[in-house]
Structure 1
Amino acid sequence: MGGQGKTTCARKLYNNVSIVHHFDIRTWCIISQTYNRRELLQAIFSQVTGSKDNGNKDDVLTDLLRRSLMSKRYLIVLDDMWDCMAWDDLRLCFQMLEIEAK
């Protein structure tokens, strides 16, 4: 459903002053039709921490990301997602936060 202005609308909200001030961390990742889980994790990690991944395995990178987000308010936009597979791959990274918060 391209061309309907979804990204433009989301980008305006993402950059809105009240959103910027509300969240400690904001990231914007574009997910290609043929995405790579590791590259996506690295992109999010890089935006969250301001540093590049040093070649850790996916589970280590996931844990580092989880620890970086812990106790913070964060907004992660996954733009241009073609199917639910990308979300299924990533949501486990964030579920750990939900479990620990309970």
Structure 2
Amino acid sequence: MTAPTDDRTAPRPSVPSQEPPTVRLPKPTRDDRRTEIVTRLLDSLEDLVTRHRALSGDPYQVDLHAELIAAEVAHELSVTRSALRRNPPLRRAD
């Protein structure tokens, strides 16, 4: 029977390290950003509707439920307005 060998002492073959190629995506245009902002708003509102439809049902909580929905919609609109102000549309040359 032979004794086990210690692989840590064996020389390791040298492999040249290769960096993966860098992929540079084009910078989004202002219209791209504004489209993303509006898409985010619409997705958020759809999620809100889905979530609240699942929660509705307790007739004693209707007023509180309506207030919660109104507050969430107001928040989403505020976030969207702020984002659109940071990315105003370009003026057209007439």
TM value normalised by structure 1: 0.25
Instruction: Determine which structure has the larger strand proportion and give its number.
Output: 1
Q: Indicate the structure with greater helix content.
A: 2
TM-score, normalising length from structure 2? 0.27
